[in-house]
Amino acid sequence: MGRIGILPTHVANQIAAGEVVERPASVVRELLDNALDAGARRIRVEVADGGKGLIRVTDDGCGLDRGDLELALERHATSKIRDASDLAAIRTLGFRGEALPSIAAVSAFRMASRPAGQAEGWEVSTRFGRGRTLRAVGCPAGTTVTVEELFLEIPARRRFLRSRRTEAAHVVQAVRLAAAAHPGVRLELVAEGRRVFRSEGREEDPAPLVALFGEELAGALLPVEGRAPGIEIRGAMAPPELARASSGGLHFFLNRRPIQGRLLWKAVREGYRGRLMTRFHPVGCLFIEMDPALVDVNVHPAKQEVRFREPEAVYRCVHQAVRRALDGVRAPAPTGAAEGARGEPPPLREGASLPWGGAPEPPPRAEGVADFLPPSWAAEAAPPAEAPSPGAPAVRRQPATGPAAAAVQPGEEPRGPVPGVSPGGLRLIGQLARTYILAEGPEGLVLVDQHAAHEGLLFRRFLERLAGGGGVASQALLVPEVFERPPADVARLPERRAVLERLGIDAEPFGHDQVAVRAVPSFLAGHGGAPRALVEILDRALSPAAEPAEALLHGLAATLACHAAVRADQELAPEEMESLLRELAAAEVRHCPHGRPVAWTVTLAEIRRGFGRT
């Protein structure tokens, strides 16, 4: 007797169901897809025991007659496509005809349905794919699918399910995503006999976004719009300061289908580039409408991943749409700013030389911010200052030199991170821990991170100069700096050399495993930290990763700005701090290139609460 045999149909169906039915939420997603494809305008989802005990989905869609019900549980029986050519332009959420037989193979399954024009409905039922019963029933127009005892006869699958609370949370998320994708459909979710979600079925209904992100975050989302041939993008993204430490807050929808995709994720990250702190992730949702012929949705068992015919066009459209939305966020315009606040800050000392040039050093005090923010770009940074005596006070208080602060209204609510700095309404207080600039503002106490602020200013100047076709001023070294590099890095140098030259760095191969740097940006010449900065720049510039020239320039400019900016633990004079505040207002800088905010406000209301004066 041969060793190979044909599996019973119900066993084969249970095996195939493993690709479609992962957990109760998978069942809910598939049944919601069917209801939406049927044109339903009202859908009610009920679950018990996290969906393991009961899942019931009721809709008012077109319904199925007796003949359709008899075929509905057959594998690959579908009304969505007729031949292979239809796969090239799928407009429905479902199309394979696998969901219902897969669900029926792993549960006690019932489906009752009635088309609106017929007097009686029909119900088909089966238990774990064995046997089938069809009978006439009285039921409302539409379809009701009941799934009970999910995976009860498949202990290996049931053991991998999580707690009732966890499985219920996945079901809730599936319903919320469906509501966000179809705001015109009224969706209701009842869990353990209690209604936990309902949308009103209006296109402008905010409930789906509020359910996904919470009321406060949903109200802060920025509108996103983008268009390209065959592509239309709309959606909403959170400002960078509201990014989250988890990556689960970003959702994509393609032709109203929730999907996942590394390409889209990378495109959004590119749009946020330079605005996000390390290990923080964007939050928001993007709805992409495309010609179905330009995308293949038949590449994933659960249809959650897709393949684009022109991925570069999609990537470019998404990243540009997100960046435009974020670029539209601007700091409030300065009120009552001092005359000349938007111009270049005047030099604080005559005869100031380049921060790390060969001229004699000035009297022993820190270089000023204004000294390395001149219009000529001859110098863009400051060196680390000598530390003051250990007994120096942590806060240096200064007399009021700026305009008086505007009055703060009693009981004003806190606003959290300030989007920018408006020095016309700030009165300089001093410096905290030689790292933060303190000022009194219209809303309370404003703290500015001097390193992040200066880094952001330098970075913006670099980008503006590069965007205009220029480059960073360069200074030749009397003795080239030679760095040991892997031979593969040295071989890549000729093709990356043009990018380095725009940043003021002249580097060339020096043998098969060394790189000689013959010129550096002017503000790094003679600076003790230059070698470390150059190592970081070469690491990125010569990386084997295929990075677009724009992204490479962006990253290298961020590295330069970081090394050129004033440091934390560096003492600044009052004039230098005021100069930095003026520069911040003129440039409307919100974040450093690494995404850290440059300023933060502790409101008067928060201070009052801290002292029990609420």
Helices vs. strands in the chain: H and E counts, helices first: 16, 23
pLDDT of res. 363 = 31
Classify the C-alpha dihedral 400-406-410-416 as positive or negative: negative
The whole-angstrom separation of Cα 61 and Cα 520 is: 69
Q: What is the mean pLDDT of the chain?
A: 79
Token pair for 305: 């991943």
DSSP helix/strand/coil, 290: strand
The whole-angstrom separation of Cα 27 and Cα 520 is: 61
Whether residue 87 has pLDDT greater than 60: no
DSSP helix/strand/coil, 271: helix
Residues 6+ apart with CB under 8 A from 142: 38, 40, 58, 59, 60, 61, 62, 63, 113, 114
Token pair for 331: 């700091």
The per-residue pLDDT for range 3-18, each reduced to its tens digit, is: 777 777 767 666 666 6
The hierarchical CATH code for the domain 9-198 is: 3.30.565.10
The whole-angstrom separation of Cα 505 and Cα 472 is: 9
pLDDT-based confidence at 333, cuts 50/70/90? very low
CB atoms within 10 A of CB 339: 7
Query: Which helix (DSSP H) or strand (DSSP E) does residue 549 occupy?
Result: helix 549-564
Point out the least confidently predicted range of 164-168, 197-201, 366-370: 366-370
pLDDT of res. 582 = 83
Once rounded to an integer, what is the mean pLDDT over residues 318-334? 72
pLDDT-based confidence at 370, cuts 50/70/90? very low
Residues 6+ apart with CB under 8 A from 387: 569
Residue among 36, 82, 87, 28 at smallest CA distance from 54? 28
The whole-angstrom separation of Cα 229 and Cα 291 is: 10
Once rounded to an integer, what is the mean pLDDT over residues 461-466? 82
pLDDT-based confidence at 470, cuts 50/70/90? confident
pTM comes to: 0.61
CATH fit for domain 368-614, picks 3.40.50.2000, 3.20.20.30, 3.30.1370.100, 1.20.950.20? 3.30.1370.100
Residue span(s) of the chain under CATH 3.30.230.10 come to 214-327
Which residue carries 């975050």 as its tokens? 217
Residues 6+ apart with CB under 8 A from 397: 429, 430
Once rounded to an integer, what is the mean pLDDT over residues 120-139? 94
Point out the least confidently predicted range of 203-207, 414-418, 585-589: 414-418
DSSP helix/strand/coil, 523: helix
The whole-angstrom separation of Cα 97 and Cα 115 is: 20
Name the phi and psi angles at 548, rounded to 5: -55, 150
pLDDT of res. 83 = 57
Whether residue 443 has pLDDT greater than 90: no
Point out the least confidently predicted range of 54-68, 177-191, 509-523, 529-543: 529-543
Cα-based distances in Å from 582 to 424, 521, 558? 8, 25, 22
The whole-angstrom separation of Cα 474 and Cα 507 is: 12
Alpha-helix runs per DSSP H in 328-483: 450-467
pLDDT-based confidence at 451, cuts 50/70/90? very high
Whether residue 391 has pLDDT greater than 70: no
Point out the least confidently predicted range of 190-199, 301-310, 333-342: 333-342
Whether residue 31 has pLDDT greater than 50: yes
pLDDT-based confidence at 95, cuts 50/70/90? low
Whether residue 372 has pLDDT greater than 50: no
Residue span(s) of the chain under CATH 3.30.1370.100 come to 368-614
Name the phi and psi angles at 288, rounded to 5: -110, 125
Instruction: Select the highest-mean-pLDDT range: 103-117, 266-280, 542-556.
Output: 103-117
Cα-based distances in Å from 263 to 295, 306, 319, 462? 13, 10, 10, 28
Point out the least confidently predicted range of 21-35, 222-236, 524-538: 524-538
Higher pLDDT, 96 or 29: 29
Residue among 23, 353, 290 at smallest CA distance from 173? 23
Query: Which helix (DSSP H) or strand (DSSP E) does residue 539 occupy?
Result: helix 530-541
Point out the least confidently predicted range of 198-202, 220-224, 347-351, 395-399: 347-351
The whole-angstrom separation of Cα 520 and Cα 509 is: 16
Strand order in the sheet with 250-254: 222-228, 231-237, 284-290, 250-254, 257-259
CB atoms within 10 A of CB 312: 9
| Rg of the chain, C-alpha, whole Å | 31
pLDDT of res. 547 = 64
What percentage of residues in the chain have a pLDDT greater than 70? 76
pLDDT-based confidence at 82, cuts 50/70/90? low
Helix 549-564 and helix 450-467: axis angle, to 10°? 140
Alpha-helix runs per DSSP H in 76-206: 99-105, 155-158, 164-181
* Contact assessment for residue 366 and residue 396, using Cβ atoms and an 8 Å cutoff: no
pLDDT of res. 109 = 97
pLDDT of res. 355 = 25
The per-residue pLDDT for range 183-219, each reduced to its tens digit, is: 999 999 999 999 999 999 988 888 888 888 888 889 9
Once rounded to an integer, what is the mean pLDDT over residues 77-96? 57
Domain 214-327 has CATH 3.30.230.10: yes
What percentage of residues in the chain have a pLDDT greater than 90? 39
Token pair for 590: 């919100």
Residues 6+ apart with CB under 8 A from 214: none
* Contact assessment for residue 157 and residue 18, using Cβ atoms and an 8 Å cutoff: yes
Give the single-character DSSP code of 218. H
Q: How many CA atoms lie within 13 A of 322 on its CB side?
A: 30
pLDDT of res. 510 = 92
Cα-based distances in Å from 218 to 197, 299, 320, 417? 16, 32, 22, 17
Cα-based distances in Å from 14 to 103, 107, 164, 585? 9, 10, 23, 64
Residue among 19, 303, 23, 20 at smallest CA distance from 170? 23
Strands (E) across 468-576 are located at 474-484, 506-509, 514-521
Token pair for 229: 């041939």
pLDDT of res. 106 = 93
Query: Which helix (DSSP H) or strand (DSSP E) does residue 576 occupy?
Result: helix 574-587
CB atoms within 10 A of CB 469: 7
Strand order in the sheet with 427-432: 395-397, 427-432, 436-441, 444-449, 599-603
The residues that bridge with 235 in the sheet, in sequence order, are 224, 286
The whole-angstrom separation of Cα 6 and Cα 23 is: 27
